[in-house]
Structure 1
Amino acid sequence: MIWTQESGDPITPLQQHAAQRAAAQLTNAGSKATPVLSQDGDALVAVAAADPTRLAESLAENREAAGSVPGATVHLAGPATAQADLEDAFARTDGVLLAVALGGVVLILLLVYRSVLMVVLVIASALLSLATACAALYAGASAGWLMVDGQVQGIVFVLVIGASTDYALLLVARYREEAGRREGKEEAMPAACRATAPPVLASAATVACAMLTLTLATLPADRGLGPAVAIAMACCAVTSLTFLPAALVLCGPRALRSEAAPGQGDGLWERPVRVIQRHPRRTWLICLALLVAGAALSPMLEQDGVPLHRALPSGTTSVVGQDVLARHFAGGTASPLLVVAPLAEKSEVSRTVAATPGIAAVSADSESSAPGLLLATLKDPPDSPEARSTVGRLRTSLAGSGALVGGQAAQLTDIHDAAARDHRLIMPLVLGVVLLVLIVLLRCLLLPLLLVAAAWVSLFAAFGAAAVVLRLFWGSSTTEPAVVLFSFVFLVALGVDYNVFLVHRVRQEALASGTAAGVREGLLRTGGVITAAGLVLAATFAALGVMPLLYLAQIGLIVGVGVLVDSLLVRVFLVPALMTDLGSRVWWPSRMPGDRVPASVSTVPGPAGTGAGTEVSTADKARA
């Protein structure tokens, strides 16, 4: 708690006595607070513990007791206040997040289908997936083997809505295609499900397996996110392949009556196809150059960490209190370091601590039952990069003395170091898992390697683009290591997803007509639906911008930018151009049967007496 004069004048002796009486009433968790006057004489501060089992009520009681100082304004700061603000903000934004995510999806679906019935069916499927996922997560959390917090809940919300809508777009597009090709409409949905199930299941498996690598992370919060997302993706896949097909069949032809539909091979994608077929090498080289240019900006995305009081919305209690505290006291006053030293070494340890750069003051804790406990006040806020540097210097100086360094700043330093270790473990593991899934799906080696490499380059291009946006609109591109790790996992898995949708269709077509014709047909058939899916997923992750914590908004921005880069550049131009340029070699070591016979056209005789003929491609004959 910090007291300042309402008039801006120095604190009076009467107010100091009143503050001492008020501090005597602050007995939460057995603490005893003693007010300290600032050097400028304009503020008083008292450090008191809050009961973690009833945090909001405990802080309210402290504020009420501290408010008995006449003529003074009371501010609350420190980690307990920041945690209370965070919990309150999460509680107030759950509904807003879901509404924003659904609103963006509905708008895009209306533009895509121009059919209210189709939008209702797709949104119903997404909400059923979300409800199923939430029920499964609640059961796991109640059983005690799954940890669900505001971070997990926010990410699961947007991922389930986005992924379910993407799978629905893919299924509906294939259903339209099969219905237009067959006279017996009752056969269209089984055929669409058979064709859609492999890429949908591969997509869900890719994301789930990639996220499950987080179970090997050091930090419990990171470990909890992996199983939660894996469960959510399983719910998305099952719902999209069961409820939605049944709903479409029950609605009958009305579900297919819309003025627009993506992925029907219209003229929109003819031009990109022609460019790729005429200049494949030039196309993928230009795309690669653009991605490398974006990746060159990725070092701008610094991982020094964002102080919690800066990550929270401006105007909250802890943010205002921390600003007042920093004006009158050392930044670490509200959360000193705890140094536990052997009694024989206490004096020497105290001198070493006091001589460490970044330490403002050292004192013995007279209230503690541990006689070797020292309190070291940091010059900087405990969750700042400068405080972490001070902790590192202090631990180096005390090495061999038997002293231990704890407190909030030390904990955050350990978390930051653990995140760095997780980067070195999780990132290569994610790439390996995704590569394995692609090899199993595509039954070749070279193409999966190219897809993973493309996802890697586009990932760093997204980091670079997001860093520029953060610098322009937030004034800083500093973020948390966890943001980079989560964004990496999501972008590698989701980026490969869209390529799975495309390449699986290309493989189907190439089996009959060869690689070049397969790329053309695959892009024409899936171009619209996958681009629409990318826009949907980018919009849903952008909804994280309404969350109260800055680093969740940063995850939404980075993943949204990455999905757009992948769906509008990598999937439309880079991958098809690479496949066209390499030809049948892209399936190495497998061979594509359609490449053994040139994908030429043959003339089928027309009606008798006309002398006319109809050109039929090899792929069309195979489908017939």
Structure 2
Amino acid sequence: MASRSETTPPASTPSSARLAFAGSRRGRWPALAAWAILAVIGFTLAPRLGGIQDDAQINWLPADAESTEAKHLAETEFNQKNLTSLLVVYTAETPLTPEAHAAAAADRAALDALAAPGERTTGPIPSEDGQALMLVVPLADTAIDADGEALFAEADAIVQEGLPPGLEAGLTGGAAASRDMESAFEQLDGPLTWMTVAVVALVLVLTYRSPLLLLLPMVCIALSEQLATGLAYLLGRYADVTINGQNTGILTVLVFGVSTDYTLLLVSRYREELLRTEDRFAAMRAALTASTPAIVASAGTVVLALAVLPLASVSSTAALGPVLIAGVASAVLASLTLLPAVLSLFGRAVFWPLVPRHDPAEAAAPAQRRHRFWGRVAGAVSARPRLIAVATTTGLLLLSLGWTGLSIGLERSELLTTETASQRVSAAMAEHYPAGAFEPVEVYVRDADTDAALAVLEAAPGIAQTEAPVRAADADWVRIDAVLADEASSDAAEATVRDLRESLAHNDTVSTALVSGPTATQIDLAAGNDRDLRLLVPLILAVVLLVIVLLLRALTAALVLMACTVLSYAAAVGAANLVFKGLGQDNVDTSFLLMGFLFLVAMGIDYTIFLMTRVREEVPRWGHRVGTLRALTVTGGVITSAGLVLAATFTVLALMPLTMLMQLGILVCAGVLLDAIIVRSLLVPALALWIGERFWWPSRTARRPTPAPAPERQEAND
């Protein structure tokens, strides 16, 4: 005879009954009505998000960085707010003819029509070898934002028309590079969403082979994504949260990924309960009662980890927290209210054509018989827990050695995964002008300190040339542009800027100096990310550890699980770095380690939480050893499917043209697969069996259970 715990739903407490209200006979209608209102709100607000998206460089910098202060100074004192330069480069294989100079001069006059109000085109500036000319067109960011494609097309038409034979011309500079980045971010809207939908749909089809279980969850997930996007708009519009291409792109992937995880967990438990009871509403109540703690704990872990991000000094990282919290909250709300209400409308028919019938005998059958593959996995872990624990730990440690040689910091040419026209023009320009001419250093000093600052610049070995000082109109400030001898994103250029800052700071005749420009910005961003990594990683670890301790009420288990998660992260970084080397990428983005840690520790712990909440449910009935193995057996399929979904959705990022997101996608994919398949399936249960009942210290979760009836004793022996 099967025990009551195997044939009937868990008893409902008042709190769990309230949580299960949305899937009840009467509660589904209010839930659907409420979501109809939320859907209208989401679809009304979501399209407005693009209107407040701001990818200006200053929004990616640490608020207290020297380059950030310099940019504010440039805007307020030099009227350089929202200005960027478009470079027109003319090259030939032989010294330029008078016709070439005349063509460039004519273009300069025509390009003045595109320049920002009150600005004029500079040049032509000849190269020392006489084979290149350069025009500098100051453009307004507002004009680029309004219709950048048309503006660049007009500029290119002006330049290409009437070119003398043998003369080539192209567009590059900060404006062109920014346009390349904006074009890449634009691909994070439609294509990213549809690719994510396709991946999730494929996994749902392969998992359930039911048309309704493809359609209904996808509708729920889509509504939660629209609600999350609408909330992100409200945060950006009224809460002063910076909205940029990074956080909106990750938001879409996150909502689809975690929503599908929660969907798989709830649907799997619902199907299990339908075998035990005839009443579909009772089955939904039992499924929600059993699944909600794991879903809430998982979501709570992610939310609390994201809640520390506003402490980051890097503005883009700080803004990511509130935006993604909105996404997780929407996903949880939809999973625990909308999805149960929708599923309860269809009952068993939602699983057609593989409809689960009420079958108490099947529900009471040994877990190994109902989940044969995972039963064999559990058997292998049970037979040799120490060997499996040592082998998997060793394998992960070896994989983490791939971390060796990881180089932090992308060069400008590496920001995109494909070469653009502006990058090709920039490369041609570097053959004729100093390597740093494209991105000069900007030094801001007081007027009285101009001569002393010029002396420091001229004595610096990494400075190729210094331009004439530019004075602010209404203030006692001077800007001096200096051309670097080395490419602006190179290590040599960074060393020059650091030395320059040091020299100016310790020069007694220079009262105040701010060093900015692309190289200085790169240095400040890297320093900010490094500082945030050292601050946020311990905080995230502490938050996750606290959640697991409260969930399991076991300190030993929590410490073991955290150690496994950190080891999995290290192995994922090593594996990702090996992939990057195979792709010919020698460097990673400065935010790579922090963003990867956030997603893999806060989200990768989901699968361990899903497993351990089931273990904690089974152990009091069966004892530590059998309960652990049963939990592994019955959750193996759904958790692995959830891991594959999340890995697949983040793989979509790997197909994007932005190197930063491509690298993050590969890292999270590798980490989730390692965590869902290796850590959760083998390492954690093996360590739990090896440690024994001390795994639950100081709680009494593993106290010896009441002897089970004969069929259950037989399953325990199996």
Alignment TM-score, normalising by the size of structure 1: 0.91
Instruction: Tell me which residue corresponds to 1:16.
Output: 101
Between the aligned partners of 1:90 and 1:404, the Cα distance in structure 2 is 31
CA drift of 1:496 comes to 1.0
Query: Secondary structure of 2:404's partner?
Result: helix
| Residue in 2 that maps onto 1:590 | 699
Aligned to 1:536: 645
2:530 maps to 1:420: yes
Q: Distance in 2 between matches of 1:152 and 1:345?
A: 42
Q: Contact between 2:277 and 2:283, CA under 8 Å: does it hold in 1?
A: yes
Q: Distance in 1 between matches of 2:698 and 2:195?
A: 46
Structure 1 pair 477–121 and aligned structure 2 pair: CA distance change class (3 A) = farther
CA contact (8 A) 1:336 1:407 kept: yes
Give 2:18's aligned residue.
none
1:399 is matched by which residue type in structure 2?
A
Distance 1:555 1:255, change over 3 A: same
Aligned equivalents of 2:355, 2:385: Cα separation in 1: 30
Equivalent residue for 2:25?
none
Q: Pairwise mapping of residues 337-348 of structure 1 onto structure 2 (< 5 A)?
A: 337-348=441-452
**1 CA distance for matches of 2:451 and 2:161?**
39
What's the CA shift for 1:96?
A: 1.0
Instruction: Kindly state the Cα deviation for residue 123 of structure 1 after the two structures are TM-superposed.
Output: 1.4
Q: Contact conserved, 1:50 with 1:58, CA < 8 A, in 2? A: no
CA 1:616–1:183 in structure 2 vs 1: closer, same or farther (change >3 Å)?
A: farther
Alpha-carbon distance between aligned partners in 1 of 2:217 and 2:280, rounded to the nearest angstrom: 21
Give the match for residue 610 of structure 1: none
1:504 and 2:613 correspond: yes
- Partner of 1:459: helix, strand, or coil? helix
Alpha-carbon displacement from aligned partner over 1:77-98 (angstroms, at most 9, x marks no partner): 2222111121123224421111
| 1:290 aligned onto 2:395 | yes
Superposition pairs for residues 20-39 of structure 1, below 5 Å?
Answer: 20-24=105-109, 25-26=111-112, 27-28=115-116, 30-39=119-128
Runs of 5+ in structure 1 lacking a partner? 604-613
In structure 1, distance between residues paired with 2:587 and 2:350: 47
* Aligned-partner SS, 1:535: helix
8 Å Cα contact 1:310/1:319 also seen in 2: no
Work out the CA distance in 2 between the residues paired with 1:166 and 1:476: 32
Secondary structure in 1 matching 2:216: helix
Give runs of aligned pairs for residues 216-231 of structure 1, distance below 5 A: 216-231=311-326
- Gap change, CA 1:52 and 1:144, over 3 Å in 2: farther
- Corresponding position: 1:391 with 2:481: no
CA distance in 1, matches of 2:580, 2:621: 48
Deviation at 1:371, TM superposition (A): 7.3
**Structure 1 match to 2:373:** 268
| Alpha carbons 2:305, 2:544 under 8 Å: kept | yes
Match of 1:606 in 2: none
Assess if the C-alpha contact under 8 Å between 1:113 and 1:260 holds in 2. Answer: no
| Cα 1:263/1:145, change in 2 over 3 Å | farther
Assess, with a 3 A threshold, how the Cα gap between structure 1 residues 141 and 619 changes in structure 2: closer, same or farther.
farther
The CA RMSD over aligned residues, in Å, is: 2.5
TM-score (norm 2): 0.80
Distance 1:477 1:563, change over 3 A: farther
- How many residues matched? 605
- SS of the aligned residue for 1:46 comes to strand
SS at match of 2:89: strand
Q: Deviations over 1:437-495 (max 9, x none)?
A: 1111111211111111111110010000000011102x024111212111110000112
Residues 362-441 of structure 1 correspond to what in structure 2 (within 5 A)? Answer: 362-365=466-469, 369=473, 372-401=478-507, 402=510, 403-441=513-551
The superposition leaves residues 365-402 of structure 1 with CA deviations (integer Å, 9 ceiling, x where unpaired) of: 35765774322101233334433222112112222233
Inter-CA distance 36–367: structure 2 relative to 1 (3 Å threshold): farther
Amino acid corresponding to residue 311 of structure 1 in structure 2 = L
Residue 622 of structure 2 is aligned to residue 513 of structure 1: yes
| Percentage identity across paired residues of the two chains | 36
Residue in structure 2 matching 1:3, options 71, 75, 89: 89
Supply the distance in 2 between the matched residues of 1:575 and 1:282 (Cα, whole angstroms).
Answer: 13
Q: Does the C-alpha gap of structure 1 residues 521 and 366 become closer, same or farther in structure 2, counting only changes over 3 Å?
A: closer
Q: CA deviation digits over 1:207-245, x for unaligned, max 9?
A: 111112111011111111111111100110110111111
CA distance in structure 2 between the partners assigned to 1:361 and 1:374 by the alignment: 11
SS of corresponding position for 2:257: helix
Q: CA deviation at 1:326?
A: 1.7
Deviations 1:507-564 (A, max 9, x none): 0001222111111110111000000000000000000123221110100000000000
Does the C-alpha gap of structure 1 residues 504 and 245 become closer, same or farther in structure 2, counting only changes over 3 Å? same
Aligned residue for 2:129? 40
Determine if the alignment matches structure 1 residue 568 to structure 2 residue 672: no
8 A Cα contact 2:418 2:657, kept in partner: no
Q: Which runs of 5+ in 2 are unaligned?
A: 1-86, 357-366
8 Å contact kept, 1:23–1:66? no
